[in-house]
Chain A
Amino acid sequence: MISIAVISGFVLALFAPTIHRIKPSWSGGVLALLPLSLFFFFFSFIGEISGGTEIVESAAWAPQIGVAFSFYLDGLSLLFALLISGIGALIIFYSGGYLHGHPNLGRFYTYLLGFMASMLGLVLASNVISLFIFWELTSLSSYFLIGFDHHRESARSAALQALLVTGIGGLALLAGLILLAQAGGSQEIYELLSRGDAVRSHPLIVPMLILLLAGAFTKSAQVPFHFWLPSAMEGPAPVSAYLHSATMVKAGVYLVLRLSPVFSGSASWHTSLTLFGGVTMIVGAWLAIVQTDMKKLLAYTTVNGLGMLVFLTGLGTPLALQAAVVFLIAHALYKGSLFLSAGVVDHETGSRNVRELRGLYKRLPLITIATALAGMSMAGLPPLVGFVGKELIYETVLAGSGPGHLVVIAALLANTLLFAASGVLLIRPFFGRAAPEAASSRGHRVSIDLWLGPVVPAAAGLLFGLIPGLLSSAIVSPAAAAVAARHVEAHLALWHGFTPMLLLSLVTIGLGCAFYGVTISKETLVDRWRWLGSAGPARWYDVGLNALKGLAHWQTRLLQSGYLHHYVLTIVLTAVILTAVTMIRLKGFLIPTTDLQVSAYELVIVVLMILAALVAVCSKTRMSAIVAMGVIGYGLALIFVDFGAPDLAMTQFIIETMTVILFVLVIYRLPHYTAISSRGSRLFSALVAAASGALMTSLVLVAHGIREGSRLSGYFADNSLLLAHGRNVVNVIIVDFRGMDTLGEITVLSLAGIGVYTLLKLRPHRNSKEEQAQTTTSNEEQESTDH
């Protein structure tokens, strides 16, 4: 059943454009039904999973190497599956309104549904290889979604940046997962979870951790890989809301949570997670408050949230993991809502600048309510679920695991900055006094497909804040238990009494207000710090990418000179040197002196061939050279006849004839022979040719001496009739024993045919080109690729 749930998304993705074409105005709602039903499907597992059951489903894929399509549902994967399907339904519904009338909306649904299915596969996969496949599929769909407005250069480069960063991380992840599977002796995560001791005591634990964390940190935008996430805001708002806040970037967090039981107890695991997570949450929140673009601001607060989650996983106590789970839910709800609201603001006003927008509450009342609720949840204010999460975080750090004070200060700083960022986003743009002319344009109604998306998660945040008990035993306890690998009983409450946590919350609010005040009043000071955001690792990425391009350009120029004789020279010389060096090093040139009788008949043919070769080299016209080469080919065919190889001889005769015909057709169009190369270069070519000939001769002689070693010819001769029902061994080898080779060869032959056809037939016509000189060239390129 779980596998069907995963596959259904891919299947619907294929048909999404068709469905969209049939009924464009309804497509969003119709397509959202699948994620919605998936949500209820996973919802129905809550009772079972919170009772402590785990569900494993497996289908063989490549059993020889232990790879399977296996799925594993426990508290953690259930939580993620609910978030992915629930928010996915809202996002797809919202997309219908946000991109209403966009010519490529159908394709957008395909990408979005494909992403949803990959993400579901990722969090449900049990086999590490299938997990990796889904991981890469999310990167790939993210590439298409970020670059959806592909006519903009910035969107394309942002998409490429995201793909390269997460793709390189993905490769590291693959290596790490393979190491993990070898260390744990299983590719199934549900088995690895109980083999932590074997993995932790493995000698390659450090490389394994580095590789796995490189994968997780690039995906989840941890410092220093955080830069791709703000760039990814080039994608449309639903993409930012879904991939780059609520789900995909959480894949790295999912991975560290998933593997937490395996590595928990290893000092390097806890230290690196706490360190990277801690730095990321502070840097993210700091960079958020200096932004002016609403989406960029939200992107950096997402970086902060992801850092917070990794930080909490690093602390690793049951309480910390419980806090991570609650914060994960809170973050997905408020961030999804805020991104969708930012999308509506952009859609309705055409601006996302928090310094320009004012008084939105008059124009977009419903969106204002949603943003206020979500923003307060982000700031950690009661009575929202964000407050519950923040209290838990403070409780965790105060419980004193890890390097005590530092951890408390880091958490306080991150939350304070986040509070200020919420203020920047919320207060002036929505409640600030509007300029008179903007205030007049009021009473604008936003359609349901635009407001439902932001409102539902914001309302859910309020509901879970008021009654946190709804979450505790049903979702938080099983998820935290899965991560902590022991029984966890979550008691969530809005009001804890007068505790140190409440005091820290009050300090956060006080300091946050102060920070907010400074940010607003000293905008020039803030501007002075903005370069920090662009001078960091993003610059390294650009430098690295340009260096790589330069290297590629240089070596392409070097190898692809465009001169045929250069290519031939390079190929022949490489082959000669590599073969000769190997043969000499291994003392392979053992040329037998006996058993080399040559009959008079053979001698005549060989002398003829040598003479023809000389004529070919020295001839003054192309035609005589071609004829001389034909003589060589026919001589070879005669030798085949002499040695009793009629198949080869026949083929050789026909091929030789065809070659001459081909040459004749081509030389029609070539200019007369002229000697343009210098004497020296011709001498060099002659030397290379002689070396190649000498090498081939000695190889043939050597092969003649070791003929007895081959077992294959005997096997083929014995089994040709028996196994393959054919008496002609040569042909049986071609079509049966080595049929795969032949399949490859005829594929190459077809490609060669298509290649020649393309070169000769599909060129833009010269005459018509002159006539259409006025029309754009891009049009013509389009045509030639369309053929």
Chain B
Amino acid sequence: MKSVILTTATRYLMPMLLLLSAFLLFRGHNLPGGGFIGGLVAAGTFILHNFAFGVEETRRLLRINPLVITAVGLLTAMGSGVVGLLAGNPFMTGHWITIPLGKGQGLHIGTPVTFDIGVYLVVIGATLTIILSLAEGE
């Protein structure tokens, strides 16, 4: 059973929701948001797609198995912890660098941000693994 209203609305909502999730992820360090919330929003987006178009379409849209996304996320989070180790500090010590962008401005980036990206990916991957598996059933 396909609903025209739902499919049409989903088409328009999806890009915005995904943008929102990325926005939440990156603003999380200074304002409400973060990898966990962002990841849930992104997962919710694909779940909406799943309801509108069915599981097979969602899997096609995702291209990669959500389990792989989970694994990549875990590795990213672990990797950001290892940076501290390599620098001779305890595991998970934060490290920051500033990428100069000219005019006295710079992009401040550090391992907590990459760690948050890892969280973001794990949340997307694990949630989608569970919900898509359930939606597929047997």
A residues with a Cβ closer than 8 A to B are 646-647, 650-651, 654-655, 657-658, 661-662, 665-666, 668-669, 723-728, 730-732, 734-736, 739-740, 742-743, 746-747, 749-750, 752-754, 756-757, 760-761, 766
Contact = CB atoms under 8 A, between A and B. Distances in A.
A113 B33 CA distance: 54
A655 B29 contact: no
Given A669-B137, A725-B110, A731-B34, A753 B40 contact: no
Interface string B26-47: 0011111111110011011001
Nearest to B121: A746
A746 B129 contact: no
B36 A753 contact: no
Interface string B46-84: 010000000000000000001100110110011001000
Question: Of residues B28, B36, B134, which shows the largest number of chain A Cβ atoms within 10 Å of its Cβ?
Answer: B36
Interface in B79-138: 81, 91-92, 94, 96, 108, 110, 112-113, 115-116, 118-119, 122-123, 125-127, 129-131, 133-138
A728 B31 contact: yes
A662 B47 CA distance: 10
Contacts of A662: 130-131, 134
Contacts of A655: 40
Listed from nearest, the 3 A-B pairs whose CB atoms lie closest are A753-B126, A753-B129, A646-B32
8 contacts: A647-B37, A651-B40, A728-B33, A731-B29, A742-B77, A743-B92, A747-B74, A756-B130
A716 to B, nearest CB: 14
A730 B43 CA distance: 22
A750 B122 contact: yes
Interface string B4-30: 000000000000000000001000111
Nearest to A759: B133
A665 B92 contact: no
B30 A727 contact: yes
Contacts of A747: 74
Nearest to B134: A665
B33 A750 contact: no
Given A742-B119, A753-B67, A754-B67, A650 B129 contact: no
Contact of B131 (A665, A723, A724, A766): A665
A747 B78 CA distance: 10
B86 to A, nearest CB: 16
Contacts of B28: 728, 731
Contacts of B122: 746, 749-750
A739 B29 CA distance: 13
A766 B37 CA distance: 39
A579 B74 CA distance: 35
Contacts of B73: 746, 750
A658 B44 contact: yes
Contact of B94 (A668, A724, A752, A754): A724
B32 A728 contact: yes
A658 B134 contact: no
B34 A647 contact: yes
A740 B73 CA distance: 15
Contacts of B112: 724-726, 732, 735-736, 739
Nearest to B135: A665
A753 B94 contact: no
A657 B129 contact: no
Nearest to A651: B37
B31 A727 contact: yes
A654 B124 CA distance: 13
Given A665-B131, A725-B96, A756-B129, A654 B116 contact: no
Nearest to B71: A750
Contacts of B138: 766
A742 B125 CA distance: 16
A631 to B, nearest CB: 19
A739 B108 CA distance: 19
A654 B40 contact: yes
A558 to B, nearest CB: 30
Given A655-B40, A746-B74, A757 B33 contact: no
Which one of B71, B113, B125, B134 has the greatest number of beta carbons of chain A within 10 Å?
A: B134
Nearest to A758: B133
Nearest to B110: A725
B61 to A, nearest CB: 18
A500 B59 CA distance: 90
Contacts of A750: 70-71, 73-74, 122, 125-126
A647 B25 CA distance: 12
A757 B129 contact: yes
A665 B138 CA distance: 13
Contacts of A661: 47, 131
Nearest to B29: A726
A661 B49 CA distance: 13
A725 B107 CA distance: 12
Given A746-B122, A746-B123, A739 B81 contact: yes
Name the residue in A647, A657, A730, A740 with the highest tally of chain B Cβ atoms < 10 Å from its Cβ. A647
Contacts of B135: 665
B110 A756 contact: no
A654 to B, nearest CB: 4
